[in-house]
Amino acid sequence: MQGMPAQPSAQSPARRTNFASKSVPRHLARGAIGFGLIAGSIALVPVAGPATLLAAPLALIAFRGCPTCWMVGLAQTISRGRLERQCTDGVCTLTKAHPAGRAA
């Protein structure tokens, strides 16, 4: 039937937005690059002119979005393997993961 809305599909965990990195040091390096690009582009304006502001958008690549996205990714990276979500009867809770259930 035309005009009927499609049934909403539940997102699988793999389809959810994930801002985490493979490791905390790698994530911190991405943050240092991103914040360095922003600070450097602003700090160099008096020396090299407004063209240095063109480096600021490159920080969005390092952050995978914005600084808030980077911070969410840091929390995801740190908690990966330490927390697990359990859903029962439509109610989901976060609990500490069991040591045997941690990913290597």
Q: What are phi and psi of 41, to 5 degrees?
A: -65, -35
pLDDT tens string 63-96: 888 899 899 989 888 887 777 778 888 888 878 7
As a whole number of Å, the CA-based R_g of the chain is: 20
Compute the residue count for the chain: 104
Question: To 10 degrees, what angle do helices 56-63 and 24-43 make?
Answer: 170
Tokens 């808030």 found at: 68
6 pLDDT band (50/70/90 cuts)?
Answer: very low
Mean model confidence pLDDT for the chain: 79
- The b-or-e profile of 65-78 (16+ CB within 10 A means b, else e) is eeeeebebbbebbe
Q: What is the pTM of this model?
A: 0.63
Question: 71 with 85: CB under 8 angstroms?
Answer: no
